[in-house]
Amino acid sequence: MTLCLAWKNRNEIYFASDSRLTDGNHGIVTDNATKVFKVDVEIYGARDSSNPDAGEPLIHQTKYGICFSGSYLNGSLLADSIEEILSNIQISPYSDYSIDNLSDIAFAIYKQVSKQITEINGSLGLSEVLFGGYCLMNKDFHLYKFAPLPIQQNTLIDFEKSKIDLTKQTILLGDEKAKAAAKKLLFKINSSYSHFHLLREIIRDDSIQTVGGNIQSGIFYPSIFKTYGIVEYTSEEDEWGFLQVRDNYRFRGLKLDFNDSELRKGNLNIHKTFFNPFEDERDKLFKQVSESLEKKIKGTGKRE
């Protein structure tokens, strides 16, 4: 399962999720699963008959965002399928390419993918999905939830699409235990305790086995959705027994070294932006460690 959150802060909308993947018995498969995806949206016009070599002109381009909980096979196939479809749209002067209409197309893909996967995996093949972005026609943001309806005995699985208003609420996707724990922590949200702190607290809760790993996130800006890495920190002793504070850069739940020379082959500069939601507490810990180190140095009579 997972815990996925969506919230609004001023004019920006955020997605965040853990990175744990579990099996049907809540056994841990991996703590490095991607659950937040970008979806490229590319809209083309008609080809110019007088210039057949020019190809179809790209008229509009943006990125939508997807976050999901439930079946990883369902969610990852869905994200890939939606991007394949929405990145190859051709319009006429009368076409409706609003996000309301494109979300209907995405929902139709969701239903088809879900029905095929549940043929083999049953209810374990189901997922809940948040799908959002800025409308290319109306220039405003919309968020939708795709979800299976409660399964009734001897009936086929059906699905619903709903429009979400983030103005005064946080959206939670995941298993019931994770969501219940998260709801109890929402009252703590303030200037020093963010949704990222809430998610980290659930990840660290050993009683919730379906949520774990690292935080992954994305943010909606006007006209685009971008994924971000997360900076966390650890404290550990060095070889001389002194406590050190170390920063950990995580991207999609993975620890990737962007300074690796192999990632910069061909004189390329790979750039990734990271959120640093725990900077204040990291700095306080660093200050405490530095003061403790100074006391130890003075106590041994050593000078730097």
Q: What is the pTM of this model?
A: 0.85
- Domain 3-231 in CATH 3.60.20.10: yes
User: What is the pLDDT at residue 23?
Assistant: 83
Question: Cβ atoms within 10 A of the Cβ of 163, count?
Answer: 10
Model pLDDT, residue 304: 46
Label the pairing between strands 36-44 and 89-90: parallel
Q: Six-digit token pair at 298?
A: 């003075």
What phi and psi, each to the nearest 5 degrees, are found at residue 135?
-75, 130
Lookup: tokens for 26:
């809540």
* HSE-CB for 113 with a 13 A CA cutoff: 24
Phi then psi dihedrals of residue 165, to 5 deg: -105, 115
What pLDDT is stored for residue 61 in this prediction? 93
Q: Are 141 and 100 in contact (CB under 8 A)?
A: no
- What are the backbone angles phi and psi of residue 246, rounded to the nearest 5°? -120, 135
Is residue 61 exposed (0-12), middle (13-18) or buried (19+ Cβ within 10 Å)? middle
pLDDT of residue 123: 86
Pairing of strands 216-221, 12-17: antiparallel
Matching residue, tokens 């999720």: 17
Q: What is the pLDDT along the chain (304 residues), one digit of tens a residue?
A: 689 999 998 889 999 999 999 887 768 899 999 999 999 999 999 877 677 677 789 999 999 999 999 999 999 999 999 999 999 999 988 999 999 999 999 999 999 999 999 998 888 899 999 999 999 999 999 999 999 998 776 677 899 999 999 988 999 999 899 999 999 999 999 989 999 999 999 999 999 999 999 999 999 987 799 998 888 877 776 666 666 777 777 777 777 777 778 877 887 777 777 878 888 887 787 777 777 666 666 666 554 4
pLDDT at 293: 66
Type of residue numbered 187: F
